[in-house]
Amino acid sequence: MRLTLAVSLLFASAALGQSVSFSGTAIQSNEIVVSKADCATPKQVTWTRTGNVACDTLFIWLSDENCTGTPGTGDLTLKEISQGDTVSLTGTLTLRMSDALTKGGLTCEGQTTEKTFKLCATTKTVDTLGQCKDTDSNVGTTSVSFIFDPSPPVAPDAPSVTGLDGALSVSVSVPSTATQLRVEVVSLVAGEDGGTPTAGDVVSSKDQATDNTTFRMDNLENGVQYGVRAFAFDKAGNQSPASALSTGTPIPSNGFWDAYIDAGGKETGGCGAGGGGIALGAVLAALGFWVTSRRKQS
């Protein structure tokens, strides 16, 4: 009797310990988020199982509600592991949002609002006495949401632009759903009859995360006016419309001596010849210009 009870408890302990975990680079903060453009793009997820499949089939599936019971008619079954299987301990799942939507009677093009599926692992478990329960329970230890996000962020406001030496400093506002920003410097196309110029070819482009909203756009030509626009991206990769076009012009940052000459000073050839009123005024003007230009670079 004691031996029978011990075996029964050992069996129950192994069955109670069954679990399925999910991992992979596609999972970010327990989410896999896809845009409409990536609706049919495969996302790879690794599953790993521990414990015994003691009572019934173990289902790995996508549910548009919650991880209880077994897959229904609108749910997508990804993997079935038979009762008693001791070989299938890990593997790779291929998730496509298009498949999940189609199973529920939806399409990538027709779905215009966000849709969330749960990645589930369910099976019948046993109680402490080794008896199989009547209903399937969730044995997934990693809660993963598979999210379809078809809506792009709103466009950022027109960026603020400051001229630097051979560069532009650009400050961008962040829309609420954005996780990444892009700044493009473009050539300007003259408007008809002297009207407002429009964006031409892209001269320079840079992407940054939204925790850094100031961009330094280098390798530009001093004295040339450029257009500057910004885009926002959400975690699904959706791109916003372009911001309104701003303009900016890189400006040369002369050294102190060049600024002194430009301000009216001249070389006198000796240390003792620096006493004229014009020279002193030129020094002060040059110093002010030089300090200002240095501040613009910082």
Q: How far apart are CA 243 and CA 55, in angstroms?
A: 58
CATH topology match: 2-148 vs 160-248? yes
Count of positions (residues) in the chain:
298
At residue 92, the 3 state secondary structure works out as strand
* Domain residue ranges in the chain: 2-148, 160-248, 256-297
CATH 2.60.40 for domain 2-148, yes or no, is yes
Residues 6+ apart with CB under 8 A from 102: none
Q: What is the reported pLDDT for 145?
A: 97
Instruction: Specify the pTM.
Output: 0.72
Q: How far apart are CA 180 and CA 158, in angstroms?
A: 16
- Contact, 148 vs 40, CB < 8 A? no
- Contact, 247 vs 225, CB < 8 A? yes
Q: What is the reported pLDDT for 17?
A: 62
CATH fold of 160-248, please? Immunoglobulin-like (2.60.40)
Residue 10, burial from CB neighbour count under 10 angstroms (0-12, 13-18, 19+)? exposed
Rg (CA), the chain: 32
Q: How far apart are CA 75 and CA 118, in angstroms?
A: 10
Residues 6+ apart with CB under 8 A from 290: 254, 255, 256, 259
- Contact, 231 vs 237, CB < 8 A? no
Which residue is it, tokens 């002010």?
288
Q: How far apart are CA 8 and CA 6, in angstroms?
A: 5
Q: What is the reported pLDDT for 69?
A: 93
Q: How far apart are CA 141 and CA 59, in angstroms?
A: 14
Which two three-digit tokens encode residue 296?
């613009």
Question: How far out from the chain centre does Cα 139 lie?
Answer: 30
Q: What is the reported pLDDT for 47?
A: 97
Buried b (16+ CB within 10 A) or exposed e, 159-170: bebebbbbbbbb
Which two three-digit tokens encode residue 209?
């995360």
Q: What is the reported pLDDT for 18?
A: 83
- Contact, 234 vs 179, CB < 8 A? yes
At residue 277, the 3 state secondary structure works out as helix
> Comparing C-alpha atoms, which of 126, 132, 130 is closest to residue 6?
130
Q: How far apart are CA 30 and CA 198, in angstroms?
A: 43
At residue 140, the 3 state secondary structure works out as strand
Pairing of strands 160-164, 167-171: antiparallel
Q: How far apart are CA 274 and CA 149, in angstroms?
A: 70
Mean pLDDT by 10 residues, the chain (298 residues): 40 59 96 97 97 92 94 95 94 98 96 97 90 93 95 97 98 96 96 83 97 97 97 96 97 66 57 48 54 48
Question: Alpha-carbon dihedral of residues 156, 160, 164, 166, nearest 10 degrees?
Answer: 40
